[in-house]
Amino acid sequence: MARYNKIFAGPVTQVTPQVLELPADVAILPGSIIVPVAGEFALAGATTTGKVYIAQDNYLALEGVDTAYAVGDVVIGMEMLDEQFFAARVATGNSLVKGSPLTPGAAGVLVLASTSDMVVATSEETYNNNTGSVQLVRVRGAKGYLTAAA
């Protein structure tokens, strides 16, 4: 069971984020970091460059955050704005404190960024993911672009 039941976490006083809808290149879980590649969404990886999105839960099919989009399904990719909150997938073995910089790791999950990594989000909660599995963690977007850390 997921720690969160929605990917867009607010604030409720703002309109929901802008989205891009594209077919899935691979199975994609909501909360994964994704990128458009050749007209389809693919999972972001450690070498990803360019604009990234976060996969929204498939509310149109009444699916939850633990139900993946199948290959070929239309994925709703949300722009991660820095004034909005999201529940993003964070790899196991990452101990986060509020404000931790996060970068794409393998298979669309976020990991702690080092000084030479490109930051796409920051943690909005303190959470030690020692569960042995990927978990949804509350994050705030870092302008939605990969930019080299100074």
Split at pLDDT 50, 70, 90, the class of 1 is low
Nearest 10 degrees: Cα torsion 59, 78, 139, 28: 60
The two tokens of residue 132 are: 């042995």
Listed residue (8, 26, 49) closest to 107, CA to CA:
26
Contact yes or no for 5/64 (Cβ under 8 A): yes
pTM for this prediction: 0.88
**For residue range 52-98, what is the model confidence (pLDDT) as tens digits?**
999 999 988 889 999 999 999 999 999 998 889 999 999 999 999 99
**For residue range 4-29, what is the model confidence (pLDDT) as tens digits?**
778 888 776 767 788 999 999 999 99
Contact yes or no for 49/94 (Cβ under 8 A): no
Split at pLDDT 50, 70, 90, the class of 118 is confident
The two tokens of residue 112 are: 């702690």
Full set of structural domains in the chain with CATH: 8-144 (2.40.300)
